[in-house]
Amino acid sequence: MKNTFLIIIAFFISVLLSGGKINEQLLYKDASLTIDERVEDLLGRMTREEKISMLGGTGFETKAIERLGIPPMNMTDGPVGVRWGNSSSFPSGISLAAAWDTTLAERYGSALAKETKGKGRHVILGPCVNIARIPQGGRNFESFGEDPYLTSRIAVNYIKGVQKENVAATIKHYACNNQEFQRDFVDVKIDERALNEIYLPSFKAAVKEAGVLAVMSAYNKMNGFYCSENEYLLEKKLKEEWEFKGLVMSDWGAVHSTLPTVQNGLDLEMPTGVYLNDSTITPDIDESLIDEKVRRILRVMFTIGLFDNYEKPDTAIFTSKEHKDLAYDVARQSIVLLKNENNILPINKEKIKSIAVIGPNAEIPRTGGGGSSYVDPIYSVSPLEALKNKLGEKIEINFAEGVALGGDTKPIEAEFFARVIKAEYFGNKELKGKPAEKIYSQINFDWGGEAPFDGFPEDNFSVRFTADVKAPETGDFEFNITSDDGVKLYFEDKLVISDWNDHAAFTNTYKTRLEKDKVYKIILEYYENGGSAAVKLGWRMPGEDPFENATDAAKKSDIVLLFVGTSNNYESEGFDRNDLILPANQDELIEEMTKLNENVVVVINSGSPVLMDKWINKVDGILEIWFGGEEIGNAVADVLLGNYNPSGKLPVTFPKSWEDCPAYKTYKAKDGVTYYSEGIFVGYRHFDKYNVQPLFPFGYGLSYTTFEYSNLQVIGKEISLELKNSGNFTGSEVVQLYIKDAEASVEKPEKELKGFKKIMLKPGETKKINFTLDHKSLSFFDPSANAWKFEPGKYVIMIGSSSRDIKLQHDIQL
């Protein structure tokens, strides 16, 4: 009787907790219902407190609501590889754009999604589509170049590839995050036409064509308002005009207010709810605003299937041949042949007996740029290693580093320390208070954005290392310290290096004479302010002269391959390059090699343009290989050796000087503000308008074969032409369609990219290529009408191999 009574009491308690509804079906768990029906059912069961809790993240996750079985939605960087432990390192975004292949972009997105699921994550924070407005932009390498049409086509297919795997893509950074300098607060002043024609098309295409599930707002302000609380961007454009149904999240730490953020369109504050929480969202804030944000978050979760037995992680995918082959395919298709005088390439293996492989990027695979997109690859291969593997004993390879890039410090080996290294960690930047102590055998740390150890802060800390080094021989030693941020070095209690400032990875040096077997006291102090953290102590022993070794290698070889460029320490999130010059005296290295050997090929690793004026006329061959991911070595080796015909085209203009670029007069001209006074004339549009000769134009790229363009026909809106491979190599050509409005009522560019197709042809083969025009592609944005406008009149159809190499042209009346 007692048990029956308890059962009855328990029953009525359950009825009361469920609002008095007996045998109620949990509709949101019914997969046969529509997503919106399930969302509304679940939303109706949530308390106001539960809803508010979901508006702020927990690092890289949304908050779970255990009472209702709402799981966390797990996110991961980044746009070029899953930055959650070791993963496949795919070529950078600029590499993908340089391939000009939409099918490849979809395969790329699909692979990223599979690896995202393999890490137990549900959302990937990519693609990055910010237009390359300035050539030294720190994150240009992550994005798809300077043209809105090319960027849109790559982005749409990337997103389709991601989301067909039930992973949410996140297009970023919305909008006008085109510089890293002062990115946290800089106010971008831009007119509506430039915004809509240049900087928003890829976001719009992602929403309208690809159905992207998430948008990330940018750090910066736009026309006076932070992007995370910008009504024009988030409400008027994104949610009203484009009818975006997914969620809008902030970039990490990019929220600055509560009420303006709540009212103007942001749905999710990341990484945590500093401004969006139950203490800041007061009772007077209408619950309907909260409901709409939670509704969007839940809609994404239901869309990717988080409530429906989401598939278990497949960890085997990270070492799959499929993804390794994809990384290789993207890398080789992205390589751009910039110069090939006297047919120096491909290397004639029958005539060449020895090759000098020289440069700081020969032995180290430069897989990606720095910051939140950098991936620690499970595997990678350098150009030097790949060349050795492919040539075997047939051709002698003479290697020399030549110069070292900052950040490439080789740590002093443990055997040269007279005792273990004592490390004192402080939870502040001033080396104050009681430290946590650790013991090490080397000073060789690259923590990225993580904490040095569990329970310690990831930012705003300092370390003091105390060590004794023992010289293995007598002579002049060069101590190298690479750090991100500040560093000091005391040698025998004397301050010899003092660089106590915030900066990206930079190498300081100190030269001194040491005596064999003598022990020297070293104290190294380091602080980390924010972002990436790294500190490494190395040295160069007597007799180690990389430049002299390079000279010897060049003299005794038939051809010199110079692997130069930048690295993740020079091109990275968080800062822009100071200039376009090759760092670490690489220009001087190239010039010296051309004096010693008449057969020189320069291979450039970079995420954006570099200057070449000092040596471009002294070398016969130049390749741009970008940051090519884990397979960069095999890809460039196959192009150099003729196993693959290069087909990449530049997605950005390479200028002859920074002064030639559209943003030269406005970038850094005023503290905290940047004026996009060039309007729509960005990239090649600017060079065309002012008749400025670039070093290499947008869309440019040579081949080992030749192509003939012929038989252009325009019938109504249909365009056709024929392309023939008139050379001796199988190869691909990117046929580019540009259009000029010859009778526009407003100022328009000399030409604008409106179509492209990548075509592979065997020697002697001909193919017909078709394009279709529409009024949408010929329209301009009219701010007075807040609408796109098409004007009938004369248009010029241009078919080219680049923006400056127009092969065929035809006038039409529309």
d(CA 320, CA 128): 25
* Selection from 758, 764, 705 nearest residue 345 by Cα: 705
Q: Average pLDDT, stretch 77-106?
A: 96
What's the pLDDT score for residue 13? 47
Q: Which of 177-181, 307-311, 805-809 has the lowest mean pLDDT?
A: 307-311
* Selection from 403, 398, 401, 378 nearest residue 387 by Cα: 398
Which band of pLDDT confidence, cut at 50, 70 and 90, is reported for residue 6? very low
Cβ atoms of 239 and 230 within 8 Å: the answer is: no
Cβ atoms of 369 and 572 within 8 Å: the answer is: yes
Cβ atoms of 522 and 455 within 8 Å: the answer is: no
Average pLDDT, the chain: 94
| 35-45 helix and 287-303 helix, angle to the nearest 10 degrees | 130
- Is the pLDDT score of 371 beyond 60? yes
CATH superfamily of 324-407+545-650: Glycoside hydrolase family 3 C-terminal domain (3.40.50.1700)
Query: Which run of H or of E encompasses 721?
Result: strand 718-725
The strand order across the sheet containing 421-426 reads 436-440, 421-426, 461-470, 519-528, 487-491, 494-499
Which one is catalytic: 77, 101, 147, 251? Answer: 251
d(CA 390, CA 379): 18
d(CA 701, CA 684): 15
**Strands 444-448, 487-491: pairing kind:** unpaired
> Which residues does 723 contact at the CB level (< 8 Å), separation at least 6?
707, 708, 709, 733, 735, 759, 761, 766, 767, 769
What's the pLDDT score for residue 11? 41
Cβ atoms of 71 and 121 within 8 Å: the answer is: no
* Selection from 812, 796, 731, 813 nearest residue 767 by Cα: 731
- Is the pLDDT score of 738 beyond 50? yes
Q: What are the helix (H) ranges across 341-407?
A: 383-391
Query: Which run of H or of E encompasses 124?
Result: strand 123-124
d(CA 237, CA 225): 15
Sign of CA dihedral 737, 741, 746, 748: positive
What are the b/e assignments for 374-389, b being 16+ CB within 10 Å?
A: bbebeebbbbbbbbbe
> Which residues does 226 contact at the CB level (< 8 Å), separation at least 6?
220, 254, 255, 256, 257
Measured from the Cβ of residue 420, the count of other Cβ atoms closer than 10 Å reads 13
d(CA 269, CA 186): 20
What's the pLDDT score for residue 309? 83
Q: Distance of CA 579 to CAs 138, 219, 367, 582, 610, Å?
A: 11, 23, 22, 9, 9
Question: What does the pLDDT look like over 512-567, one tens digit per residue?
Answer: 999 999 999 999 999 998 767 889 999 988 977 788 999 999 999 999 999 999 99
The neighbouring-strand residues paired with 87 are 377
For the chain, the structural domain boundaries read 324-407+545-650, 414-540, 705-813
Structure token pair of residue 693: 């000769």
Q: What is the CA radius of gyration of the chain?
A: 29
Which band of pLDDT confidence, cut at 50, 70 and 90, is reported for residue 401? very high
Structure token pair of residue 166: 């039930």
d(CA 231, CA 257): 14
What DSSP state is assigned to residue 240? I
What is the amino acid identity at position 36?
A: D
SS3 assignment, position 588: helix
> Which residues does 800 contact at the CB level (< 8 Å), separation at least 6?
699, 736, 738, 806, 807
The neighbouring-strand residues paired with 180 are none
Which band of pLDDT confidence, cut at 50, 70 and 90, is reported for residue 569? confident
Q: Is 251 among the residues known to form the active site?
A: yes
- Is the pLDDT score of 451 beyond 80? yes
Q: Average pLDDT, stretch 279-290?
A: 96
Question: Measured in whole angstroms, how far is the alpha carbon of residue 68 from the centre of its chain?
Answer: 37
d(CA 447, CA 645): 39
What's the pLDDT score for residue 647? 98
What DSSP state is assigned to residue 196? I
> Which residues does 439 contact at the CB level (< 8 Å), separation at least 6?
420, 421, 422, 423
HSE-up (13 A, CA, CB side) for residue 683? 30
What DSSP state is assigned to residue 197? I
SS3 assignment, position 198: helix
Which band of pLDDT confidence, cut at 50, 70 and 90, is reported for residue 24? low
Question: What does the pLDDT look like over 140-183, one tens digit per residue?
Answer: 999 999 999 999 999 999 999 999 999 999 999 999 999 999 99
Q: Which of 242-256, 433-447, 501-515, 716-730 has the lowest mean pLDDT?
A: 501-515
Q: Report which of residues 803 and 408 the model is more confident about.
A: 803
Q: Which CATH number fits domain 414-540: 3.40.1280.10, 2.60.120.380, 3.30.450.260, 2.60.40.10?
A: 2.60.120.380
- Is the pLDDT score of 257 beyond 50? yes
Q: Distance of CA 271 to CAs 113, 168, 260, 262, 448, Å?
A: 21, 17, 19, 16, 17
What's the pLDDT score for residue 22? 38
Instruction: Please provide the size of the chain in residues.
Output: 814
Q: Which of 106-110, 124-128, 403-407, 453-457 has the lowest mean pLDDT?
A: 403-407
Q: Average pLDDT, stretch 572-587?
A: 94
Q: What are the helix (H) ranges across 46-122?
A: 48-53, 93-99, 102-118
Query: Which run of H or of E encompasses 736?
Result: strand 731-741
What are the b/e assignments for 159-176, b being 16+ CB within 10 Å?
A: bbbbbebbbbbbbbbbbb
Q: Average pLDDT, stretch 103-128?
A: 97
d(CA 148, CA 176): 13
Cβ atoms of 601 and 623 within 8 Å: the answer is: yes
> φ, ψ for residue 387 (rounded to 5)?
-65, -40
Query: Which run of H or of E encompasses 206?
Result: helix 201-208
> Which residues does 309 contact at the CB level (< 8 Å), separation at least 6?
none
Question: What does the pLDDT look like over 459-471, one tens digit per residue?
Answer: 899 999 999 999 9
What is the amino acid identity at position 696?
A: F
Q: Report which of residues 11 and 616 the model is more confident about.
A: 616
Q: Average pLDDT, stretch 677-683?
A: 98
Q: What are the helix (H) ranges across 510-652?
A: 546-555, 586-596, 632-640
The neighbouring-strand residues paired with 480 are 509, 538
d(CA 611, CA 591): 14
Sign of CA dihedral 246, 252, 258, 261: negative
- Is the pLDDT score of 1 beyond 60? no
**CATH architecture under which domain 705-813 falls:** Sandwich (2.60)
Structure token pair of residue 185: 């607060």
Same CATH topology for 414-540 and 705-813?
Answer: no
Cβ atoms of 80 and 332 within 8 Å: the answer is: no
- Going along 401-442, which residue ranges are E strands? 421-426, 436-440
* Selection from 2, 85, 637, 107 nearest residue 378 by Cα: 85
- Is the pLDDT score of 12 beyond 60? no
d(CA 432, CA 461): 10
Q: Which of 111-125, 218-232, 293-307, 404-418 has the lowest mean pLDDT?
A: 404-418
Which band of pLDDT confidence, cut at 50, 70 and 90, is reported for residue 224? very high
- Is the pLDDT score of 8 beyond 50? no
Cβ atoms of 363 and 517 within 8 Å: the answer is: no
d(CA 748, CA 742): 9
d(CA 337, CA 705): 12
